[in-house]
A and B are shown apart, each in its own frame.
Chain A
Amino acid sequence: MELTVIGQTAGEAAEGGCSSSGCGGSSDQLSHLPEHIRAKVHNHPCYSEEAHHHFARMHVAVAPACNIQCHYCNRKYDCSNESRPGVVSEVLTPDQAVKKVMAVAANIPQMTVLGIAGPGDPLANPERTFETFRQLTEKAPDIKLCVSTNGLTLPDQVEELCKHNIDHVTITINCVDPDVGAKIYPWIFWNNRRIKGRKGAEILIKQQQKGLKMLTERGILVKVNSVMIPGVNDAHLEEVSKVVKANGAFLHNVMPLIAEAEHGTFYGVMGQRGPTHGELQALQDQCAGDMNMMRHCRQCRADAVGMLGEDRGDEFTMDKVENMEIDYESAMQRRAEYHASIEANREAQKQQSGQAFVALSSLQLKKKETRPVLMAVATSGGGVINQHFGHAKEFLVYEASMTDVRFIGYRKVDLYCSGGDSCGDAETTLQKIIRALEGCEAVLCSKIGYEPWEQLETAGIQPNGEHAMEPIEEAVAAVYAEMAGNGQLDEARETAQLQIGA
């Protein structure tokens, strides 16, 4: 068996701009991309598996109106294509949005990406969206701009998009077959009429693919988001992955449907279930053969401010922002310095994890086959284990194997449950967390209380607080090595936990 020792490939990785052990070896998600595209995604928290530890994006809600209906959406709330369901953002005018973005950028140097993703469809509100981009390109040239759309009017907006020099576009594409589409989109608004059912879905699909091709031809990066809906498009998404790759998408992100009756969406009210963690992971693995998959999307709230998943929105409400004096010239200077120090840090961490992987390689000398293990990690950012178990609102899940440590995805714990029979109000938060962590055999955090410790152990998940402040991949590798050393990994896990939902 060939072992990927990251320490040996560090030099190469530095050249390529992909510097995390998570990006190493077989799991390098960016290595197939041309250099200029890799450079574009290098610091983008939504696209680079590693950059999300260090950089952040924000959204502004300037585009309220929408021109299609998705069965997983409730118009009272923000668009669930890009944000968490059940959230209402304050709708801002373009002028207000620009003020807010500059205030955040001046105070949070990690903020490198500004996205417009709703609450409606940004391209159904083109004047508002483009006015915001135009002002920001002029006033804050160090912020990257991106936009998410359902794609319906995309072909008509490509020229305008190119003018604003927007290099990232996300299209939500749930199907390439109108019969599947008719089960997801009951109607679209097209040429001043409402068009229902299959016919509407057919137009939407054509427009999406056309827009995707046009953007690719003009050198604009396109990511595709898909919502996985069991029994509707789950079996179809592999085909979607192939088609969007052929048409030029550089990344495909499959997100789970989150449907709860209390969100008031069609699917929620009708009792459509979302996928289990296992189903989602299995589909992501299937699609990974065709194309680069993004596994770390956390379905951020559209107006989230701060590091991905960590919400600092309360500090930047419009009334506070109106009263801030911002000297963007000097802020830009500070931002540049900060970004340089982050780069130095990433370089240093890469060196460290290189050592961790050399240590891991010693496993091979024992010539023992050990099985892969899923581990959950509590972190508040920075790429290190630095969060108390009880404070974690979500966990990062990594798979450690004999060959490498790779990032698998996120498990949210506080806000939503993933559906299923056992989901009820009687369930304690801790029980919910344990259920959210199904399939994981260890959880790494900075500290953990006695009670959760016991319950986690009982549930077959080993709590571990010994690696506080260590880089994540290195700690996961160390715990894996320890488990392997204890002989815990010689046999397949007794319970069916690794095949959940398969």
Chain B
Amino acid sequence: MAYEIIESCVNCWACEPLCPSQAIFDARPHFRIDAKKCTECEGDFADPQCVSICPIEGAILSPFGEAANPPGSLTGIRPERMAEVMAEIQAR
């Protein structure tokens, strides 16, 4: 089982040096994870490192094919509150 980087990746380099298994590589159009090498960070870290630093919601999929950082998880704003927060910010 392995994590997977998909097309919303912005090639920011943050994950690459952190991978304990050297499973991540610089590829175009976007970075990739070598599924054969990815250990899900088992035995090295409590949290998968790529997932813990990736700045883009949805760019990394969990072994179950779900967004490892789902919408709202990184901005701290749940999708249903988006319009409200936007109005607050625009009133500044």
**Taking beta carbons and an 8 Å cutoff, which residues of A are in contact with B?**
64-67, 69, 74-76, 91, 120, 124-125, 186-187, 189, 192-194, 196-197, 230-232, 266-267, 270-273
By beta carbon, the residue of chain A nearest B11 is A76
Whether A273 lies near B92 (C-beta < 8 A) is yes
Inter-chain residue pair count (beta carbon < 8 A): 72
0/1 string, B67-92, CB within 8 A of A gives 1: 00000001110000000011001111
By beta carbon, the residue of chain A nearest B14 is A65
Whether A271 lies near B12 (C-beta < 8 A) is no
Whether B13 lies near A67 (C-beta < 8 A) is no
Q: At the interface, is chain A mostly helix, strand, loop or mixed?
A: loop
By beta carbon, the residue of chain A nearest B82 is A270
In whole angstroms, what is the CA distance A128 to B37 when docked?
A: 25
Whether B76 lies near A272 (C-beta < 8 A) is no
Whether A193 lies near B92 (C-beta < 8 A) is no
Within the complex, the shortest CB–CB distance from B89 to chain A, in Å, comes to 5
User: Which A residues touch B17, using CB under 8 A?
Assistant: 65, 125
Listed A/B pairs (29) with beta-carbon separation below 8 Å:
A64-B13, A64-B14, A65-B12, A65-B13, A65-B14, A65-B16, A69-B55, A69-B74, A75-B10, A75-B12, A75-B14, A120-B13, A120-B14, A124-B14, A186-B74, A187-B74, A189-B52, A192-B49, A192-B52, A193-B52, A194-B47, A196-B76, A231-B89, A231-B92, A266-B75, A270-B90, A272-B92, A273-B90, A273-B92
Within the complex, the shortest CB–CB distance from B52 to chain A, in Å, comes to 4
Whether A64 lies near B12 (C-beta < 8 A) is yes
Question: Please, how many residues of chain B have a CB less than 8 angstroms from a CB on the other chain?
Answer: 25
User: Which B residues touch A65, using CB under 8 A?
Assistant: 12-14, 16-17, 53
Whether B89 lies near A270 (C-beta < 8 A) is yes
In whole angstroms, what is the CA distance A496 to B56 when docked?
A: 44
In whole angstroms, what is the CA distance A230 to B12 when docked?
A: 28
Known A-B contacts A120-B12, A192-B49, A232-B92; A270 and B56 likewise in contact (beta carbons under 8 Å)? no
Whether B76 lies near A197 (C-beta < 8 A) is yes
User: Which A residues touch B91, using CB under 8 A?
Assistant: 231
